[in-house]
């Protein structure tokens, strides 16, 4: 369904709560709606907006704001559906001549219609399990969406050969067309797959498999994170509580606590406005970097993302060495590895599909020692998610209570020589034993912008209705509830000038200015 509203008030559609409007607001709830839009008749330019986070409207928008409201309903008892799917899959495993039916084990929930898509078979790892949640299945099924469907891969769970691996991960300079990837198929083939499950897959295969989860673009990203953690699936837990929608995660390359969206994105489904067709985009071609992608630069305005396929894992893959997360977990009595991010063999797995005891205690892997089983709370994706939510709630304003766009500035990456100059300034200000917070990063050293802003005395600073947030100076908030874009921009410029003067670093906003 397509809805259109002229001179639309955007104050409830952006988390900064800027009182601005757009010439036309368009919302679509089905993928085929994008084919029905007369793009030339819309007020220009056309801006695709997700949940309205991470952006600042600097005034009334003269064009069209488009929202893709295709979404999954994670309030449904997906665990029960997964249990049902798993039970059916287990029975199918016992009957070799019925293995082909495994691709059709599925349940349905949510709303919206997807024409098809997701990564083609060539891009699916051999040991992958596929799960479409409110979006095109990874092999291009057509049918009611959101839906959930588990399938085995088309061959054994042995690691692919070098040649196979190269073919599976090869990137292209331009996304393949829907026709090339069979993303739009004959509706009569709904629910069918050209791939047949291999009856020779070993019983242990599921525990070593990736899980490909396709989610509609309009789904709230944190709802997806919550679902994954509750199912014992690893990957997005460190990104918990980041506001916004799944489509925007692929545009912005959102990140937190040592994880970025690009680390778990397997495929992107989008409408190409230039060709008028749906395409599947390999994330390797997206130019992902720190809070950026080709969607924000050379592809800006071309693609409208309708679904994102994430690659999750049943194998524990905790990332703990960022932002004090490890210490928070240790203080809570949680079993964490003494170094690195390797997972202890008795790590908790939640309600994940095809659960299996991992067994073994006090085992050492790659030089990393773990607590003996039973001496501490087992680590799980859910426990990490809970800890990160608590950390974020203490530091960051709740967008439903105080208007903000999250982290306002990017953390700069500087040379080692420049960092030494900053260390000298910091020791002069704070004493000879003072240690400047920093992280190793590709190309140099990352210095927290929040630390520099606080050192310059901006914590709690106001400009009209805008304020540098007291608990986290990386955030600028609409403290009065009536702040204007000019208030926000004025405070932004004050911060940039002060950091440049003191440290010789030019901060760049993470928040997109519209």
Q: Which residue has the higher pLDDT, 250 or 78?
A: 250
Q: Which phi and psi (to 5°) does residue 22 adopt?
A: -125, 155
Q: Provide the 8-state DSSP code for 425.
A: H
pLDDT tens column, 207-235:
557 899 999 999 999 999 999 999 999 99
Per-residue pLDDT averaged across 408-413, rounded? 96
Of 384 and 324, the structure prediction assigns the larger pLDDT to 384
pLDDT at 4 over 50: yes
Determine the Cα angle at 258 with ends 210 and 434, to 5°.
Answer: 160
Give 234's strand partners.
313
The 10s digit of each residue's pLDDT in 358-390 is 222 232 333 334 445 555 789 999 999 999 999
Q: Tokens 């004493």 — which residue?
A: 431
Class level of CATH domain 401-513: alpha beta
pLDDT at 506 > cutoff 90: yes
Report the percent of the chain where pLDDT is more than 90.
58
State the Cα–Cα distance between residues 300 and 252, nearest whole angstrom.
Answer: 12
pLDDT the model gives residue 208: 57
CA distance 210 to 166: 18
CATH architecture of the domain formed by 78-313: 2-Layer Sandwich (3.30)
**Token pair in block for residue 188:** 């009569």
More confidently predicted of 247 and 81: 247
Per-residue pLDDT at 196: 22
pLDDT of residue 292: 92
Dist. CA 277–CA 178, nearest whole Å: 6
Q: What pLDDT is stored for residue 398 in this prediction?
A: 87
In contact, 64 and 44? CB cutoff 8 Å: yes
Catalytic residue among 380, 407, 461, 492: 407
Domain ranges across the chain: 2-68, 78-313, 401-513
Is residue 194 predicted with pLDDT exceeding 50?
Answer: no
DSSP assignment of 141-186: --EESSEEEEE--SS-SSPPPHHHHHHHH---SSPEETTTTT-S--
Average pLDDT over residues 75-93: 46
The tokens describing 268, both together, are 């992107």
How many angstroms separate the CA atoms of 207 and 278, rounded? 33
Q: What is the pLDDT of residue 177?
A: 35
CB 221 within 8 A of CB 246: yes
424 phi and psi, to 5 degrees? -65, -40
Please work out, in degrees rounded to the nearest 5, the angle formed at the alpha carbon of residue 501 by the alpha carbons of 495 and 505.
75
Burial class of residue 330, CB neighbours in 10 A (0-12, 13-18, 19+): middle
197 pLDDT band, cuts 50/70/90, is very low
* Residue carrying structure tokens 């399990």: 129
pLDDT score for 335: 87
Please tell me the distance from the alpha carbon of residue 37 to that of residue 2, in angstroms, as a whole number: 8
Residue 156's pLDDT band, with cuts at 50, 70 and 90, is: very low
Confidence of residue 309 (pLDDT cuts 50, 70, 90): very high
Q: Name the percent of the chain lying above pLDDT 70.
A: 66
- As a whole number, mean pLDDT of residues 300-325 equals 92
Q: What is the pLDDT of residue 353?
A: 33
What gap in Å lies between CA 214 and CA 23, rounded to an integer? 33
Query: What average pLDDT is seen over the chain?
Result: 75
Instruction: Flag whether pLDDT at 27 surpasses 50.
Output: yes
Least confident stretch, 66-80, 170-184, 421-435: 170-184
* pLDDT at residue 209 in the model: 72
What was the pLDDT predicted at 322?
80
Question: According to the model, what pLDDT value does residue 400 have?
Answer: 84
Strands laid side by side in the 444-446 sheet: 413-414, 444-446, 439-441
pLDDT of 127 > 90? The answer is no
264 against 125, higher pLDDT: 264
User: What's the confidence (pLDDT) of residue 86?
Assistant: 45
pLDDT digits (tens, 9 = 90+) for 457-500: 999 999 999 999 999 999 999 999 999 999 999 999 999 999 99
Strand partners, 114: 143
Q: Are 406 and 243 in contact (CB under 8 A)?
A: yes
Exposed, middle or buried by CB within 10 Å (0-12, 13-18, 19+), for 51? Answer: buried
Q: Render 233-250 in DSSP notation, one character per residue.
A: -BSSGGGTT--SBHHHHH
Task: Find the range with the poorest average confidence among 128-132, 158-162, 224-228.
Answer: 158-162
Read off the pLDDT of residues 53-80 as tens digits, 9 standing for 90 and up.
899 999 999 999 999 999 887 754 444 4
Would strands 2-9 and 21-28 be described as parallel, antiparallel, or unpaired? antiparallel
Q: Count the Cβ atoms, other than its own, within 10 Å of residue 206.
A: 24
The reply to whether 510 belongs to the active site is yes
How far apart CA 214 and CA 134 sit, in angstroms, is: 7
The DSSP annotation for 256-324 comes to ETTEEGGGTEEEEEEEETTTTEEEEE-GGGS--BTTB-GGGTTTTTTEEEEEEEEEEESS-----SSTT
CATH fold of 2-68 reads: 3.30.43
What mean pLDDT comes out for the span 192-197? 25
For residue 20, pLDDT over 80 is answered with: yes
367 DSSP assignment: T
Residue 331 to residue 440: CA distance in whole angstroms:
25
Q: Given 291, 314, 326, 461, which residue is catalytic?
A: 291
Is 407 tagged catalytic? yes
In sequence order, which residues have a C-beta less than 8 Å from that of residue 181 and are 6 or more positions away? 117, 120, 140, 279, 280
- Give 111's pLDDT tier (boundaries 50, 70, 90): very low
Task: Please identify which residue in the block is written with the tokens 């769970």.
Answer: 157
Tokens of 379: 């680590």
Whether the per-residue pLDDT at 189 is higher than 60: the answer is: no
pLDDT the model gives residue 75: 57
- In whole angstroms, what separates CA 50 from the centre of its chain? 13
pLDDT, average across residues 287-314: 95
- Helix (H) or strand (E) holding 92, with range, is helix 78-93
Cβ atoms of 463 and 487 within 8 Å: the answer is yes
Categorize the per-residue pLDDT at 115 as very low, low, confident or very high, splitting at 50, 70 and 90.
very low
Closest alpha carbon to 118 in 304, 244, 306: 306
Contact 35, 276 (CB under 8 A): yes
């Amino acid at each position: 369904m397509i809805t259109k509203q002229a001179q639309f008030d955007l104050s409830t559609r952006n988390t900064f709560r800027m009182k601005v409007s757009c010439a036309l607001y368009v919302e679509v709830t089905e993928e085929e709606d994008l084919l029905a839009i007369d793009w030339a008749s819309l007020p220009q330019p056309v801006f695709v907006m997700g949940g309205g986070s991470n952006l600042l409207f600097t005034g009334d928008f003269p064009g069209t704001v488009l929202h893709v409201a295709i979404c999954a309903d994670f309030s449904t008892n997906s665990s029960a559906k997964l249990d049902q799917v798993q039970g059916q899959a287990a029975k199918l495993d016992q009957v070799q001549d019925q293995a082909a039916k495994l691709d059709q084990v599925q349940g349905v929930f949510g709303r919206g219609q997807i024409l098809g898509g997701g990564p083609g078979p060539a891009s699916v790892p051999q040991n992958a399990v596929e799960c479409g949640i409110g979006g095109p299945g990874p092999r291009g099924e057509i049918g009611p969406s959101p839906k959930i469907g588990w399938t085995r891969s088309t061959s054994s769970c042995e690691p692919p050969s070098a040649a196979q691996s190269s073919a599976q991960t090869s990137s292209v300079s331009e996304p393949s067309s829907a026709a090339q990837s069979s993303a739009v198929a004959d509706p009569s083939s709904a629910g069918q797959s050209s791939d047949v499950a291999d009856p020779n897959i070993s019983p242990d295969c599921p525990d070593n498999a990736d899980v490909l989860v396709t989610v509609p673009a309009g789904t709230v990203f944190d709802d997806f994170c919550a679902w994954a953690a509750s199912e014992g699936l690893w990957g997005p837990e460190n990104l918990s509580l980041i506001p916004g929608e799944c489509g925007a995660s692929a545009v912005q390359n959102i990140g937190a606590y040592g994880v970025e969206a690009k680390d778990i994105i397997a495929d992107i489904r989008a409408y190409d406005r230039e060709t008028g067709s749906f395409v599947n985009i390999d994330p390797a071609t997206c130019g992902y970097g720190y809070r950026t992608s080709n969607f924000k630069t050379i592809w800006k305005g071309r693609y409208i993302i309708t679904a994102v396929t994430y690659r999750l894992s049943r194998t524990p893959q905790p990332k703990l060495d960022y932002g004090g997360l490890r210490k928070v977990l240790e203080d809570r009595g949680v079993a964490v590895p003494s170094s690195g991010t390797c997972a202890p063999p008795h790590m908790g797995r939640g309600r994940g599909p095809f659960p299996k005891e991992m067994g073994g205690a006090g085992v050492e892997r790659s030089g990393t020692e773990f607590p003996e089983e039973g001496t501490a709370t087992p680590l799980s994706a859910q426990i990490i998610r809970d800890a990160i939510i608590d950390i974020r709630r203490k530091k960051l304003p709740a967008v439903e209570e105080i208007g903000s766009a999250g982290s306002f500035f990017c953390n700069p990456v500087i040379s080692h020589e420049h960092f030494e100059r900053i260390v000298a300034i910091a020791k002069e200000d704070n004493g000879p034993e003072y240690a400047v917070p920093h992280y190793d990063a590709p190309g140099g050293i990352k210095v927290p912008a929040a630390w520099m802003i606080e050192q310059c005395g901006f914590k709690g600073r106001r400009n009209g209705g805008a304020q540098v947030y007291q608990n986290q100076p990386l955030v600028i908030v609409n403290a009065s509830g009536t702040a204007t874009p000019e208030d926000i921009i004025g405070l932004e410029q004050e911060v940039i000038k002060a950091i440049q003067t003191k440290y010789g670093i030019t901060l760049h906003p993470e928040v997109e200015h519209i």
